[in-house]
Amino acid sequence: MSDTTGIRGPAIFLAQFIGEQPPFDGLDASACWAAGLGYRGLQLPTGDPRFIDLALAAESQAYCDELKGRCAEAGVEISELSTHLQGQLVAVHPSCDELFDGFAPAELRGRPQARQAWAVEQLMLAAKASQRLGLNAHATFSGALLWPFVYPWPQRPAGLVEEGFAELARRWRPILDAFDDAGVDLCFEIHPGEDLHDGASFERFLDAVDHHPRARILYDPSHLLLQQLDYLGFIDCYHERIGMFHVKDAEFTPSARSGVYGGYQEWVERPGRFRSLGDGQVDFKGIFSRLTQYGYDGWAVLEWECCLKDAAQGAAEGAPFIAKHLIQRARHAFDDFAGGEASTSSNRRILGLS
């Protein structure tokens, strides 16, 4: 693990690994598995009580201390919690109601208002649970009211986008305030399918929530590359708002048949595909350098999604890949040895101003 003056890691997001077979059927076994591969942090999804009881974590410090102790015994720590699925349900366009019903408990399916209320409550619990666990950042999705209208055809009526972001802000502002009370940043993953899917849409949201101090970014370069954004320049623009980092690779190879939209093809045939670390096109040396330059000291978290390589191989290769890219921030300038004694009088003499 790097020290606290730089990026921390490696960590791994467990969402894509959880299942019915060991070691992915519970926290203790998963923690031991991850530690054995060289990971030092676990980003935990909050929808499976085998890993965390979110309601109990929000109310019980003893339970949170127990969770931390179990992870520490295995050799890892909890890096962040995630409410990606619950955050998605804070804002759902009616055209997607049935598709997203599977993210909610069975008794809420077909009841959009009740489903949304449950999702908001989940986020409120996550703020308290993160605080009790001593975490300072939380991962989520923004949800989407406007995504069906992302391409302006038919022409969007005047005011539609503004009203969509105003409503999104109305839904998220109380949640952001709860995270502020808990001292935890709320990091929205910038992701296609969400209303916050690029820098311009994130800026609209920031304006709508009066630049709330807890509204931050989960930076995942794979989603930016597949949209053909400048993912390195994105760090230059938004580094002050980046509070979390998913280390995920991707590749984009357009053809005469399809491009960014993918032609409704399966992942293997799409021009844009997620890949295991090191197998895609993302410049991770540039990313780790820029994040270090701007003082990012959060976790570097593997999110594995690859249409070709098996998950076990991707996870095993991910920890050393991240560890190799961690940068210990320089403690002094390389040319300090050549410096002379400085003073106002000597500087004025050098400038010929004495």
pTM (whole model) above 0.85: yes
Query: Taking the domains of the chain in order of start, what are their residue ranges?
Result: 8-350
Alpha carbons 186 and 175: distance in angstroms, whole number: 9
| Whole-number Å distance between alpha carbons of 139 and 84 | 7
The region, left, alpha or beta by phi > 0 then psi within -120 to 50, assigned to residue 270 is: beta
Beta-ladder partners of 299:
8
pLDDT for the residue numbered 1: 37
Tokens of 224: 């930016």
Neighbours of 108 (CB within 10 A): 18
Tell me the CATH class for 8-350.
alpha beta
Question: Hey, which residues does 39 pair with through a beta bridge?
Answer: none
Phi first, then psi: give them for residue 291, nearest 5 degrees.
-60, -40
- Would you give per-residue pLDDT tens digits along the chain (354 residues)? 334 579 999 999 999 999 999 999 999 999 999 999 999 999 999 999 999 999 999 999 999 999 999 999 999 999 999 999 999 999 999 999 999 999 999 999 999 999 999 999 999 999 999 999 999 999 999 999 999 999 999 999 999 999 999 999 999 999 999 999 999 999 999 999 999 999 999 999 999 999 999 999 999 999 999 999 999 999 999 999 999 999 999 999 999 999 999 999 999 999 999 999 999 999 999 999 999 999 999 999 999 999 999 999 999 999 999 999 999 888 877 777 777 788 999 899 999 997
Which residue type, as a one-letter code, is found at position 254?
P
Q: What is the pLDDT of residue 331?
A: 80
| Max Cα–Cα distance, the chain, nearest Å | 82
